[in-house]
């Protein structure tokens, strides 16, 4: 499928109609989405109404918006008017329908975008694999025997497969950056709280953010600007780089190390203290907040939950308040430390995932010399960054013929434009860039 900006330009100029683009998108979805297990609902009726509204504006000589006629999908935890917000679970499959769209959807539709689908996820966003007991396991378009990552795996897979030009996911501990890395896309976890969370089913309010998946950097910048209400103004000042060492230099693919060497050969190495403690505290806070959120539903019908999610939520609900308070206090001191460490620099560079996508039939990865569950540990490099609330852009390494891998570009709060500028420079140098599925992979191991 064409990129978002190309579609919008064609629709705004009258060369293509939004209805024509929607028909193409729906035909592709009907033919190709099922094997990926990426889509939970196709919204053909409302989408047609929105596309016709865009076409009417064009016919009247009015500007339908920067995303005119661009189809998109959202993770299954965004409110969609008239439908229950299930968050990937049978627990809320028959909940009362949402009265209105989530604020992010509203902003995108106001810019002319056309919502066509809701997309698969780990139940209640609790996992890094998109192994869903209700909808099935989302497959990686680059190799359907492998995971797409999670918890926003359906959102990533739909874009990586060319079914949609962009999608929205959510990121609590890495749930955008992990699938972006494993499927070879751009994926943004914004500065915490910068993008609209209204109408998004929560996992852990302390960390939750929404963000886009795109197959081009230009699309990412435009969608971020629409969602944030900000502009990525160009600058020509040098970007001061540092690379994250310590735990971030362990459990890393050799290609990621080589790419970081190429990007910042002389950059200083910043070692963050207490990384293991930060990740443990992040696990504790998310477990506690998730457990509290679902405590009543667990008491009412615990057996309706995915067993792997249920057990972790119950454990979280039983955590003492004192432990939660201690973890939040440590988080505040850790963030202050990170602000001091990043102060001399503009961007910190780190791996996004520790490896390429693991096999569906053996969803484990190698961490510290031992095989561990991918569902829990694919976020080993993303979780400590979420803990700070800093923005982080996952950028895909350009490696045709091989399974995708990404890096994180991590910035100071509200520095997304700097991350985009560095990403553009890396793309121009041929270090990063999206490669769509369709060729053989070589040299990759599980």
Domain boundary among 185, 200, 228: 228
Mean pLDDT of 376-394: 97
Q: Are residues 169 and 24 in the same domain?
A: yes
In-domain check, residue 445: no
In our burial notation (b when 16+ CB lie closer than 10 A, e otherwise), range 30-53 reads: eebbeebbbbbebbeebbbebbee
Question: What CATH number is given to the structural domain containing 306?
Answer: 3.90.1300.10
In-domain check, residue 233: no
Distance CA 326, CA 66 (A): 45
Asked whether residue 442 carries a pLDDT value surpassing 50, the answer given is: no
Residue 238 phi/psi, 5° resolution?
-60, 145
Query: Which one is catalytic: 10, 17, 75, 392?
Result: 75
> Which residue in 390, 361, 358 sits closest to 376, CA to CA?
358
DSSP reduced 3-state for 373 = strand
Asked whether residue 444 carries a pLDDT value surpassing 80, the answer given is: no
Q: Are residues 174 and 264 in the same domain?
A: no
Q: Is residue 412 annotated as a catalytic residue, yes or no?
A: no
Query: Which one is catalytic: 151, 181, 206, 415?
Result: 151
Please state the domain count of the chain. Answer: 2
> Which residue in 379, 393, 380 sits closest to 422, CA to CA?
393
Query: Which one is catalytic: 152, 155, 170, 175?
Result: 175
Mean pLDDT of 138-166: 98
Tell me if 179 sits within 8 A of 152, measured CB to CB.
Answer: yes
Q: Are residues 30 and 107 in the same domain?
A: yes
Look at residue 414 in the predicted model and tell me its pLDDT. Answer: 97
Tell me if 355 sits within 8 A of 254, measured CB to CB.
Answer: no
Look at residue 323 in the predicted model and tell me its pLDDT. Answer: 97
Q: Are residues 220 and 309 in the same domain?
A: no
Asked whether residue 439 carries a pLDDT value surpassing 50, the answer given is: no
Q: Are residues 194 and 263 in the same domain?
A: no
In-domain check, residue 323: yes
pLDDT, mean over the chain: 96
Split at pLDDT 50, 70, 90, the class of 443 is: very low
Q: Which is more confidently placed, 97 or 442? A: 97
> Which residue in 89, 92, 169 sits closest to 124, CA to CA?
89
Split at pLDDT 50, 70, 90, the class of 233 is: confident
Q: Is residue 75 annotated as a catalytic residue, yes or no?
A: yes
Residue 280 belongs to domain spanning: 242-428
Q: Are residues 22 and 62 in the same domain?
A: yes
Look at residue 232 in the predicted model and tell me its pLDDT. Answer: 83
In-domain check, residue 441: no
Mean pLDDT of 62-69: 98
Q: Which is more confidently placed, 142 or 445? A: 142
Look at residue 1 in the predicted model and tell me its pLDDT. Answer: 83
Asked whether residue 223 carries a pLDDT value surpassing 80, the answer given is: yes
pTM of the predicted model as reported, rounded to 2 decimal places: 0.96
Look at residue 33 in the predicted model and tell me its pLDDT. Answer: 86
Q: Are residues 335 and 405 in the same domain?
A: yes
In-domain check, residue 19: yes
Q: Are residues 192 and 247 in the same domain?
A: no
DSSP reduced 3-state for 65 = coil
Mean pLDDT of 277-292: 96
Cα first-last separation, the chain: 30
Distance CA 29, CA 116 (A): 10
In-domain check, residue 437: no
* DSSP states along 103-167: HHHHHHHHTT-EEEEEE--SGGG--SS-EETTTEEPEETTEEEEE--SSSHHHHHHHHTTS-SEE
In-domain check, residue 11: yes
pLDDT digits (tens, 9 = 90+) for 243-270: 999 999 999 999 999 999 999 999 999 9
Q: Is residue 206 annotated as a catalytic residue, yes or no?
A: no
pLDDT digits (tens, 9 = 90+) for 295-351: 999 999 999 999 999 999 999 999 999 999 999 999 999 999 999 999 999 999 999
Q: Are residues 203 and 314 in the same domain?
A: no
Look at residue 237 in the predicted model and tell me its pLDDT. Answer: 92
User: Which residues of 148-286 form beta strands (DSSP E)?
Assistant: 166-171, 186-189, 209-214, 241-244, 269-270
Percent of the chain predicted with pLDDT > 70? 98
Percent of the chain predicted with pLDDT > 90? 96
């Amino acid at each position: 499928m064409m990129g978002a900006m190309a579609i919008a330009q064609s629709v705004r100029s009258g060369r293509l109609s939004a209805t024509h683009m929607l028909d193409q998108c729906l035909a592709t979805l009907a033919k190709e989405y099922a094997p990926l297990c990426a889509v939970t609902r196709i919204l053909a009726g409302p989408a047609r109404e929105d596309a016709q509204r865009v076409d009417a504006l064009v016919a009247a000589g009015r500007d339908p918006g920067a995303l005119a006629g661009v189809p998109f999908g959202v993770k299954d935890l965004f409110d969609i008017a008239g439908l229950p917000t299930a968050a990937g679970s049978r627990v809320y499959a028959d909940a009362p329908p949402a009265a209105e769209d989530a604020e992010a959807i509203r902003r995108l539709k106001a810019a002319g975008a056309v919502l066509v689908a809701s997309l698969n996820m780990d139940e209640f966003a609790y996992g890094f694999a998109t192994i869903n007991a209700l909808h099935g396991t989302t497959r990686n378009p680059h190799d359907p025997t492998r995971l797409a990552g999670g918890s926003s795996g359906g959102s990533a897979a739909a874009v990586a497969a060319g079914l949609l030009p962009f999608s929205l996911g959510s990121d609590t501990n890495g749930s955008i950056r992990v699938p972006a890395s494993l499927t070879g896309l751009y994926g943004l976890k914004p500065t915490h709280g910068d993008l609209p969370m209204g109408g998004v089913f929560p996992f852990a309010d302390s960390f939750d953010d929404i963000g886009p998946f795109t197959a081009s950097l230009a699309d990412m910048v435009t969608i971020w600007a629409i969602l944030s209400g900000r502009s990525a103004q160009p600058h020509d000042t040098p970007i001061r780089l540092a690379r994250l060492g310590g735990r971030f230099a362990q459990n890393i693919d050799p290609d990621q190390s080589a790419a970081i060497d190429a990007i910042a050969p002389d950059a200083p190495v910043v070692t963050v203290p207490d990384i293991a403690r930060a990740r443990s505290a992040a696990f504790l806070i998310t477990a506690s907040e998730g457990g509290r959120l679902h405590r009543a539903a667990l008491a009412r019908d615990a057996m309706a939950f995915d067993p792997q999610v249920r057990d972790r939520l119950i454990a979280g609900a039983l955590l003492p308040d004192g432990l939660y308070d201690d973890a939040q206090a440590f988080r505040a001191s850790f963030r202050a430390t990170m602000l001091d460490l990043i102060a001399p620099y503009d961007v910190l560079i780190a791996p996004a995932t520790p490896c390429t996508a693991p096999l569906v039939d053996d969803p484990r990865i190698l961490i510290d010399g031992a095989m561990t569950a991918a569902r829990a540990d694919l976020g080993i490099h993303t979780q400590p960054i979420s803990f700070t609330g800093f923005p982080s852009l996952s950028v895909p390494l350009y490696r045709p013929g091989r399974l995708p891998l990404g890096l994180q570009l991590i910035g100071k709060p509200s520095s997304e434009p700097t991350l985009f500028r560095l990403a553009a420079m890396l793309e121009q140098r041929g270090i990063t860039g999206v490669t769509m599925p369709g060729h053989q992979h070589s040299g990759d191991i599980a």
